[in-house]
Amino acid sequence: MEDGQRVEVWDGSKENYLGKGTLIGRTTVYFIVTDEGTLRSLPNAEIKPEGVPEEAIIKSEDNPKFVLDDGKTVYGCQVWWKPLSKTKQKK
C-alpha cells in the first residue's frame, strides 16, 4: 500500500466500524505486554510508554498510520482495516 491509499477501518475487536480514512505513512509504535499476556498500546502508539518495565515493551517498526475522515489518528496495530481500492486517491 502507498501513502494516500483510502481505507475502511474497524476497532481492534472488528465489531465497531470506525469509518473511512487515509494511510499517511508508516511509523514505529510501541506495545505493552500485560500481565495476562495480551498486547496494549497507548492511544498515540508512537509514544514509548513510561513507567513500564522495559521487558514489557515491544517496539514495532513500519506500522501503518491512518487518519480517519473525522480527524482521529489510528495505527495498524490497533485496528482492522482494508483498502477501498487498489490505487491511492488523487489530490
Q: How far apart are CA 65 and CA 68, in angstroms?
A: 10
Q: How far apart are CA 75 and CA 91, in angstroms?
A: 23
pLDDT of residue 3: 92
Query: Taking 70 as the threshold, does the pLDDT of residue 91 lie above it?
Result: no
Query: Taking 70 as the threshold, does the pLDDT of residue 70 lie above it?
Result: yes
Q: How far apart are CA 45 and CA 23, in angstroms?
A: 16
Residues 64/26, Cβ–Cβ less than 8 Å: yes
- The string of pLDDT tens digits covering residues 25-57 is 999 999 999 999 888 888 889 999 999 999 999
